[in-house]
Amino acid sequence: MLNRLVKKTLSISAIVIAIIVLGGFAYIEIGSNRATPITDFSAPFVFGQFRVPEDNPLTDEAVELGRRLFYDVRLSGNNEVSCATCHRQQLAFTDGRQTAIGVSGKALALNSMSLANLMWGPRHFFWNGRVTSLEEQALVPIQHADEMDQSLAELVDELKADSQYKSLFSVAYGRITNENIAKALASFQRTLISSDSKYDKYLRGEATLTEQENLGRKLFVAHPDVKASLRGGNCIDCHSQFLTSGFNTLYDGFSNNGLDSEEDLLPGLEEVTQIRAHRGLFKVPTLRNIALTAPYMHDGRFATLEQVLDHYNEGIKMSSTLSPLIAEADNSTKGVVTQASLNLTEHEKTAIIAFLHTLTDRQFIAEEKFSNPFD
């Protein structure tokens, strides 16, 4: 029944998307240049609507250019570090480190983030949400002293000296400028869509989950309700819907998931909004490809998914900004609780981990279009 509904809605949405895409991009002219609109670009309807900025439409040339830039070490001051140094395709665009290391060789404070389905979820980027577009984001690591440490003026000069970049920029955007470098990187990253995991195939009616995976799925999507004998892991309350990332309305995609107690809370979102109630809130990351993106959390403190589940089940630290969705989620029937705990069984925790593994998308990490064009 669900599958039939999914299929039906899929075909309707495919038509709708086709109309949007074809209608919106009948042709694209930037200055005197004509770039090729991407006409077959579509996304699973279950992800919801997506938006591409009007002043940076997706074109073949922009995406190709962005891909080159993403993998080009010339974006760093010492010509050794590219975006892909910290965002490796085979790790769903993370780096496998607890915290990232760039040109300075000094460990950064934060864990590098997976880059998938970036057109959905919170409209704020970085763990504390300090930028609001991919265009704005792209120039940050390039100039950051510990990440890529490159001056934009120097980068523009280096790219101008390369005839291939000259012609790519010319068709995609016109001139080689900071702004157009950022736009190209953003365009490439918008195409990083992961939607072919076992879970996606299950949603499309092309695969069945094992009993354990299915138990994990049910726990993932349920908020526990002892009175109704409903056991739940509560995950979808924050890792929302099919995307498993945070909500996109204002700051709803940010939460304090109980990693630290009051005195150890980092500012998090508070640094951006200056609102005290936002202390210790971080971006709810996507869980797609999560089995590939260890270590976990903004500071990479957990090495395994087992540790993550132990955290949610019995490691929650109380603080004034702890999400109420976590504080009150409890599967125990034993009355008064003093410590926030899910009280899931070992069997249930293992099932949730099995479900998380169904979010791995082998197609995504093997996709030629996302790989290093210099290889």
Rule CB under 6 A: say whether 257 interacts with ligand HEC: yes
Q: Is 255 in the site for ligand HEC (CB under 6 A)?
A: yes
Stretch touching ligand HEC by CB under 6 A, among 47-55, 77-85, 172-180, 202-210: 77-85
* Buried-exposed string 340-362: b where 16+ CB fall within 10 A, e elsewhere: bbbbbeeebbbbbbbbbbbbbbe
Neighbour count for residue 160 (Cβ, 10 Å): 13
Q: 289-328 mask for ligand HEC (x: CB under 6 A)?
A: -x--x--xxx---------x---x----------x-xx--
Binding part of the chain for ligand HEC, among 7-15, 198-206, 288-296, 331-339 by CB under 6 A, reads 288-296
Question: 203 or 342, CB closer to ligand HEC?
Answer: 342
Cα(179)–Cα(202) distance, integer angstroms: 41
Considering only residues 197-236, where is the footprint of ligand HEC by CB under 6 A?
233-235
Out of 67, 74, 87, 231, the only residue in the binding site for ligand HEC (CB under 6 A) is 87
Quote the tokens at residue 105: 């060789």
Q: How many Å apart are CA 122 and CA 25, to the nearest integer?
A: 25
Measured from the CB atom, the residue of 189 and 360 that comes closer to ligand HEC is 189
Q: Binding of ligand HEC at residue 77 (CB under 6 A)?
A: no
As measured in angstroms, the least distance from the Cβ of 112 to ligand HEC is 4
Distance CA 95, CA 114 (A): 9
56 binds ligand HEC (CB under 6 A): no
141 binds ligand HEC (CB under 6 A): yes
- On whether the CB atoms of residues 205 and 6 are closer than 8 A, the answer is yes
**In terms of CB distance, is 25 or 342 closer to ligand HEC?**
342
Cα 358 from Cα 365, distance rounded (Å): 14
- Rounded to a whole number of angstroms, the minimum distance from the CB of residue 367 to ligand HEC is 17
Shortest Cβ 18–ligand HEC spacing (Å) = 27
The reply on whether position 193 binds ligand HEC by CB under 6 A is no
Q: Does 269 bind ligand HEC (CB under 6 A)?
A: no
* CA pair distance 329, 236, nearest whole angstrom: 12
Residue with tokens 């984001």: 137
Examine residue 44 and say whether the peptide bond preceding it is cis (omega within 30 degrees of 0): no
For residues 92 and 293, the answer to whether their CB atoms sit within 8 Å is yes
All residues at 6 or more sequence positions from 290 whose CB lies less than 8 Å from its CB, including other chains: 296, 305, 356, 359, 360
**Binding range to ligand HEC, per CB under 6 A, among 25-33, 110-118, 190-198, 333-341:** 110-118
122: tokens are 């919170």
Q: What whole-number distance in Å separates Cα of residue 87 and Cα of residue 371?
A: 11
Residues 85, 93: Cα–Cα separation, whole Å: 9
- Is 115 an interacting residue with respect to ligand HEC (CB under 6 A)? yes
What is the contact surface with ligand HEC in residues (CB under 6 A)? 70, 75, 81, 83, 85-87, 100, 102, 108, 110, 112-115, 125-127, 134, 137-138, 141-142, 147-148, 185, 189, 233-235, 237-239, 255, 257, 259, 282-285, 287, 290, 293, 296-298, 308, 312, 323, 325-326, 352
